[in-house]
Amino acid sequence: MDARQFAAVLEKLAGAEDSRLQQVLQLLTQRSASEGTEHAVHGRLRGERRRLARRRLDAEFAAACGACACFGAPHCPNCGGEGRPGWQVPDENLFRMYVAPALERLGIHHQEEGHATM
């Protein structure tokens, strides 16, 4: 039975006089309403998790660049707008993860002592 057929059956039952049928119908209606709410809650949670993961990735990339999380946006309370890449010493591990591979593609090799060579 597809959703449309099920809805038609429910509609037919709604006209029935039997009070037990009415109770079953009420329960089914309540259940599908709460399933809808549950679905919405799961959707919101999924969105929130995605947003947090995105924010963590942004923060990691900023740290890899030695930048503030705002990347130097004016009026940032954390850096006062000075937080462009190189503002602080980059996080070495995050630098290796996010930046070094891009530098290698440009033919710039990151060395352990922190000096780059072309």
Q: Which residues bind to Zn ion, rule: CB under 5 A?
A: 68, 70, 76, 78-79, 83
Least CB distance to Zn ion at residue 79 (A): 3
Least CB distance to Zn ion at residue 83 (A): 4
Least CB distance to Zn ion at residue 54 (A): 18
Residue number with CB closer to Zn ion (25 or 85)? 85
Amino acid present at 43: G
Residue number with CB closer to Zn ion (25 or 60)? 60
Q: What is the DSSP string of 85-117?
A: TTSSPPPHHHIIIIIHHHHHHTT-EE-TTS-EE
Least CB distance to Zn ion at residue 58 (A): 12
Cβ neighbours for 21, distance < 8 A, ≥ 6 positions apart: 13
Residue number with CB closer to Zn ion (83 or 90)? 83
Cβ neighbours for 86, distance < 8 A, ≥ 6 positions apart: 65, 66, 67
Residue number with CB closer to Zn ion (80 or 114)? 80
Helical segments of 1-118, H only: 3-14, 19-65, 92-94, 100-105
